[in-house]
Chain A
C-alpha cells in the first residue's frame, strides 16, 4: 500500500535561497511524525510544499500514491487537512461558521450544510471542549481558543493526512495534551499526521518518529529515543541540554539555563 505522504529528493527554492534540500521521507497511514528544527529550518516551507501552496523545484511529493501536482484543490482538501499556526479572520464569522467551513471540500459549490455536517461540527466542538464558543464571534477569541477552533475545523474535514504547524503554541498544557491525544486517536483510526513542534518533550511522547530538520536538510530521523540526544540538540538547535529518560520511558529534554 502507498504511503500517506512520500517525499523523494524534494528541494524548494524561495527567492534565491534553497530552503529545502533533497528531503526524502515517508509517513505511513496510522503514523504520527514530529517535524522538529530551529526557526527558519524549513519546517513550514515543507508543509506548504506538501499542500502545493509553494511549488517545489526538484523531487517528487506524493499523497496516497498520487503525485501532489495531479490532484485538484478539492481532491487535495478531501484527504489533507492543515492546522496553521494562527487564524486571521477579517470579518466577524462565528466559531460554528468557521468550523463548518471544514466541510467545504465535501459539499457542493452551492447550498447549505447537511445535518451530517452540523453533527460533525457539534462533535468536534465538544471533543475540544469549546461547544460553549459556538456562537461567539471570531473577534472575541483568545489565541488559544483560535487554535482550538482550527483543530476542530481540521477534524470536521475528515482527513486521511493531518498537517499541524505548531498547533499547540498558544495552548496551556492541558489543552496541548488534549490536542495531541486527539491526534493519537485519529492515528489509531488510520489517519497519518505530521506535526511541526517546538515542544521536544511533548513531541517525544506524541510521535512515533521524529524528523530533525536543519538548514533545509534532514539531520536525523527515527524513534524519539534515538533522535533526541544531547550532541544532536547541540548541533541542530545550538542548545545546551541534558536528555534524560522520563518516568514513561520517553526522553525528557532539560535545557541548562543558568549557572
Chain B
C-alpha cells in the first residue's frame, strides 16, 4: 500500500531542493559576461573581495535568480491551492481575478501614474493593492450568504478578469508609445526589473502564504473532493477556504506586482508533479513551490541569454514551453492526470 511517509516526504523535498540549487547556480553562471564557476562561488562566499565579477553576480544575477525562484514558487503554490479549492484541474493562479485586479491597478499606475507624480517604483505597490481589493470584492460577491461556493468563485473571477482586461486595453490604447511598450511587457510577464527589495517583498508574502498552504495541506486533500465531503471528514470548510484564499491572494498579488502576468507556471507545474509524486497535497504543496521556482529560474535564464544581448520577457518562454507541454500531458497522460 503506497502512501505518503516521512521518508518519502523528506527524500522528495530534498531532491527538489538540490535541483533548485543546481538550477540557481546555472542561472548565476549564465549571462552576457562569461564568468567561471570559481567567480560565482567566490562572489557568493566573499562578496567584499570579488571585484567586477562579484558585482555582476551579486547585483545583477542574484536578485534576478532569487526573484525567479520566489515568483515561480508563488505561482505554482497558488495553482495547487486554486485547483484544489475549485475542484478544477484547469484552474490557475489567474483564474479568480486576483491577478486581473493587480494587473489593472499596476497598469493604471504605469500609464497614468506619471501624470500625478508617481514613478515606476509605485507600480508594484499599486498592483499589490489592486490584488487585495480584487480579493475583497471577490469574497464579497461570491461569499454572499456566508458560504463561498467554487462555482460562484469561478464565475465571479471570470467576469472580473474580463472586466479588468477590457479596462487594461482601454488604458493601453490611450497610453503613449513608451508606456504602451511597458504595459505590453507587463502583460506578458518579465523579471527585468529585479532587485533585492522586490525579492524580499515577494519572499515575505510567499512565506506567509506558503506556510498557510502547508499547514492546511491535509484540508486541501479533503477540499479537493468537494466541500460537503470535506465537511463530512471534519474540515471547517468556510474558515479554511478563507485562510487559503487570503494566502493565495498574498502570493499571487506579490508575484504579479513584481513580474506581471507570467503564464503557465501555476497551471503546468501542479499537473506535472501529480504525474510523478501523486496527488497528496502534503507533498504537492512544497514540491510545487520548489519545482515552480526551478522552472522559472530555467525559463528566465533562457530569456536572458537566448537572443545574445537582447532580453526576452520570461512570460514568452514559459508560454512557449508550457503550452506544448500541457498539450502533451493532455494527450499522453489524460487518464492519469486529468480525468477518468
User: Which residues of A line the B interface, CB within 8 A?
Assistant: 48, 51-53, 72-74, 76-78, 80-82, 84, 87-94, 96-98, 100-102, 104-105, 107, 109-110, 112-113, 118, 121-122, 125, 134-135, 137-141, 157
Q: Which of B222-237 contact A (CB under 8 A)?
A: 222, 224-226, 228-229, 231-237
> Known contacts A88-B226, A90-B88, A121-B1; is A97 also within 8 Å of B233 by CB?
no
Q: A84-B229, A91-B224 are in contact. Are A109 and B88 (CB under 8 A)?
A: no
Question: A112-B6, A135-B2, A139-B336 in contact; A102/B233 too (CB < 8 A)?
Answer: yes
List the one stretch of B15-23, B54-62, B272-280, B318-326 in contact with chain A: B272-280
* Chain B residue at minimal CB-CB distance from A106: B234
Q: Is B156 an interface residue (CB 8 A)?
A: no
Q: Which residues on the A side are within 8 Å of B216 (C-beta)?
A: 109
A94→B340 contact, CB < 8 A: no
In whole Å, how far is B247's beta carbon from the nearest beta carbon of chain A? 15
Which B residues are within 8 Å of any A CB, using their own CB? 1-6, 9, 83-84, 87-89, 214-219, 221-222, 224-226, 228-229, 231-237, 274, 278-280, 282, 335-337, 339-340
Q: List 19 A-B contacts (CB under 8 A).
A: A74-B236, A77-B233, A78-B234, A80-B232, A88-B225, A89-B225, A92-B336, A96-B1, A97-B221, A98-B225, A101-B222, A101-B225, A104-B218, A109-B216, A109-B218, A122-B1, A125-B1, A140-B340, A141-B340
Counting residue pairs across A and B whose Cβ atoms lie within 8 Å, the total is 117
Selected from A77, A87, A107, the residue in CB contact (under 8 A) with B225 is A87
Inter-subunit contact A107/B89 (CB<8 Å):
no
Q: Which 6 A-B pairs have the closest CB atoms?
A: A77-B234, A105-B234, A74-B234, A91-B279, A139-B340, A82-B232
B313 to chain A, nearest CB (A): 32
B235 touching A73, Cβ below 8 Å: yes
- CA–CA, A102 to B336, complex, Å? 23
Q: B340 contacts A100, CB within 8 Å?
A: no
Q: Choose from A51, A97, A134 the contact partner of B279 (Cβ within 8 Å).
A: A97
The CA-CA distance from A48 to B83 in the complex, in Å, is: 26
Known contacts A92-B336, A139-B340; decide if A110 and B218 are in contact (CB<8 Å): yes
Interface of A is mostly: mixed
Interface pair B234/A97, CB less than 8 Å apart: no
Most A CB contacts (10 A, CB to CB) among B3, B88, B224, B229 go to: B3
Q: With A101-B222, A135-B2, A139-B335 in contact, is A53–B234 under 8 Å at CB?
A: no
A112 touches B9 (CB 8 A): yes
Q: CB-CB < 8 A to A101: which residues of B?
A: 221-222, 225, 233
Q: A104, B231: Cβ atoms under 8 Å?
A: no
Q: Are A96 and B5 in contact (CB under 8 A)?
A: no
Contacts A89-B224, A93-B280 known; 16 new A-B pairs at CB < 8 A:
A48-B228, A87-B225, A88-B225, A90-B83, A92-B274, A93-B221, A93-B278, A97-B278, A101-B233, A102-B233, A104-B221, A105-B233, A105-B234, A110-B217, A112-B9, A139-B340
